[in-house]
Amino acid sequence: MFVKHGMNSGFSSLASSAVLRRQQFLIRSLKGYSVSDKIRMEAVKCLSGGASLEANAESVLRTITPSLDPTRHKGQAGKIAVIGGCREYTGAPYFAAISALKIGADLSHVFCTEGAATVIKSYSPELIVHPILEESYNISGVNDEGKRDISKKILSEFDKWMERFDCLVVGPGLGRDPFLLECVSKIMTRARQSNVPIVVDGDGLFLVTNSIELVSGYRLAVLTPNVNEYKRLVQKVLGCDVNDQNTHGELLSLSKQIGNVTILRKGKSDLISDGEKVQSVSIYGSPRRCGGQGDILSGSVAVFLFWARQCNSAAERESTISRTNPTVLGCIAGSALLRKAAALAFEHKKRSTLTTDIIEHLGQSLEAISPAS
């Protein structure tokens, strides 16, 4: 489900349904309406509450997912970079990067340590893997000046690629090595200076929680904490424990305090806020909670965030769609698609469902909602 804060009563649902029926009747009456009219009406459905609570998330997916067009060239559907992967963790960056490709991004890169690169490459030839990151254990005999030189080299290497990316995913399988995190913080700062959107997950949230200035006030940043990561964010930023009696108000306050950064709080219902409003995605997913689903989500949000920005730009030119925060739309779409793919995978595999099974159902789930044209 996808609802606005305070719009969860039965009366509100009935009222929004009546409004949508009138809108649909008007569309049928205006036969032959244009593509721009369709975009506008989909946006109205999204913003007004929609025909049903679940249908709103689907309308976001339909609105922002681009049609397959043979005139487009490689790269126009999205170029995503995942910053993560160390000697202990290789699955998480793979899951995030391959999910972006399975949804429809054209290119997916992984920036990781040398110890992780060969393993990640072995998972799939589709990924472009850059083994440029370093961990402390690998440079233990290097003095401070040497470490600074290594850090500069890493940043310089990443700079060669920065302008090519439409979104970064920071954190899957990153680990908590101090030197590695220091280098990644510099990459995030450089991405922010270049106005590249950033989705932060996993150990990237550990980094951000301890260095909140990396994302504070950056409206193109998305944080995707689970229950424990969210708890640490609340304690760090708001200086209190999580208040389960005021989840919406607390999430609003947290986002505002970080400068209206969009936060996707994962849970039974995924709650999303950019400090202006709170929205929820509660489509039923799967009772199987295998590790790695958060990595699918981060890769998905990155792609949808880029597509939402493209959609907003086109709408702005046509003056037919209200400006809607693309980071929020990206979170809604990513959450909804993951849940649908997880449900479909569980239907086939039941208790033995794995993250790779869910990934294999991403394309099918998206096509069911937004058929290629």
Instruction: Provide the annotated binding site.
Output: 173, 226-232, 266-270, 285-295
pLDDT tens digits, one per residue of 277-327:
999 999 989 999 899 999 999 999 999 999 999 987 665 544 333 467 999
Phi, psi of 177 (to 5 degrees): -65, 130
Q: Is 63 helix (H, G, I), strand (E, B) or coil?
A: helix
Residues facing 263 on adjacent strands: 223, 273
Q: How far apart are CA 178 and CA 333, in angstroms?
A: 34
CA atoms within 13 A on the CB side of 206: 15
Element (H, E) at 83: strand 79-83
Structure tokens belonging to residue 233:
């964010």
Q: How far apart are CA 213 and CA 259, in angstroms?
A: 10
Instruction: Provide the annotated binding site for ATP.
Output: 266-270, 285-294
**CATH architecture of the domain formed by 73-368:** 3-Layer(aba) Sandwich (3.40)
Name the pTM for this structure.
0.84
158-164 contacts, C-beta under 8 A, 24 or more apart: 158/111, 158/132, 158/187, 158/190, 159/190, 161/81, 161/109, 161/130, 162/190, 162/191, 162/194, 162/196, 163/194, 164/75, 164/79
Instruction: Provide the annotated binding site for (6S)-NADPHX.
Output: 173, 226-232, 295
pLDDT tens digits, one per residue of 113-122:
999 999 999 9
- Which amino acid is it at 176? R
Closest Cα to residue 178, out of 131, 225, 137? Answer: 137
Please say if the pLDDT value at position 213 is more than 50.
yes
- 269 or 55, greater pLDDT: 269
Contact in structure between 109 and 161 (CB atoms under 8 Å)? yes
- Of the pLDDT bands very low, low, confident and very high (cuts 50, 70, 90), residue 53 is very low
Over range 144-156, report the average pLDDT: 96
- Which amino acid is it at 279? Q
- Of the pLDDT bands very low, low, confident and very high (cuts 50, 70, 90), residue 84 is very high
**pLDDT score recorded for residue 312:** 73
